[in-house]
Structure 1
């Protein structure tokens, strides 16, 4: 009976290996110095992009996770961007994970990746056993999967590196303090913010960009569907236009903004008894965006009260109203839970002395229309 069970197990293992289709990579950029290239039990594909600020924070977290399991887990950061751009970015930010390119987007499509950062965990037979925001994959999850999945596979057997001819794209350098262009063929519909030298590039739908500039919820910015186009905007850092971002956009794009006050369901954060963290709790000095939003938590390094309220409102998909704030723009470090309301209330109060409640409150809505020609 024992022999029969052993034979059955071997047959099942052999069949699973036969049915396994290698994960395709267009180009190998770099190999991790800590992960084994020989047999490991688990592979994690980290889908990312150089323009995705939270992806950089996720990479730092995954680097720590990789160092904990050098012989059992191999993490691969996969981008669809130009290899030269990725190489320069990796060198500049000293990111140490294995990195590769998915030029045709085949692997992105295979795992239905629609937002970044995102990741999938695979066993050595190529079966997906976990997916989600990389920051939500914890050490205890890895330990549980390692106990369950014993089969191992070499890196070279797990991934197939293809070869493509890459056409280099010259990076655009703005000539003015503010420039914009409409984008017709949209690859990623989310808000994208990229810091490059003296400029910040922001891509997204008009209502999302304006909401970011005013630091309000996108539901508060009303734009007609035919006018809510996708733009790429360039701002020179610390310029007047950058400091008054949304007002600059409204003026330069020849729009009209009519504000209106009304009652709406909001989260109210009361800072009257707040004792906020300083800027020495989290250190992500080489991450220009300096925040990481998971499915349950927001972690941020050197972000203002105004910025964190915007991120929290975006995560909750509900406007956030601030009360009794002494300084909206002073920088702090943050670690905020938002998935479960009761836990969010208690953690904000315990960590920062911030009182939170959900209520009806006065809200400003921004109604954006085109000026008559």
Structure 2
């Protein structure tokens, strides 16, 4: 099977520490346990043991439960309160009661519900579940590479994300494809089987993949045929088997911390060389233009509703909302200077 070797967390920790020291005294500590926990979902008290490789493994059901509770505790609404289960579930058209077992730690959610929870809180959903824009932007950011150019660059992004080069180009043009979750998971599973081969050049069998998480090959047959979604444990096992990103809820502690440290390291290196990856800039520019173009047609009441929604979104991601008194622009969707915001 592929060898997702244990990330050398100690080495990554040292690199981040060295980059932090270059910034001099007074800068925020990038290795602060609370910040790492916020990014990774790993409890602060567990971080030293995870880095040292001495922390005991946490069963999937308990890990997903703990990370869900941590999302609710650290991504509060704009009033500083935990989001109700009903509000979270409503975002992906499910009843609040469907998240009851996850919240209580008595059962795992459906795969679609896990994707919805991660999308609601603005955390990465992992290889199988991330939407096209999130997957491409994350691959660009975490790879730390220069902007890929030409077919080879698109092929590299395709390998990292499981998205076809054509769909990556659409995503970079601000038109990310939106396909049903069942089809997306099937396509990305087939991409893994096609691009991460055995030593003899053949795809890994369904039985070999399933055995890695104590299941039968038949449990993956419907997924391979594009006829159904795997359960959460199978999705976690597939991603672990191929050594790809498991996402906030599913990643083992070592992987989750490694991903957080990689993101922090890239952030610190970019601070030393303040040059943004131009493809990331393209993605953001498309977002801004699209939002401004549509928001400019809103009434003052519509602006107030949009501002409230943005406050909610910022709160989910642990960021501050707008300053008091900035409820809406002047009538007609314009600022006092007469320009669209």
Structure 2 length-normalised TM: 0.25
Give TM-score, length-normalised by structure 1.
Answer: 0.23
Q: Write 1 or 2 for the structure with the bigger share of strand.
A: 1
Structure with bigger RCO (C-alpha 8 Å, 6+ apart):
2
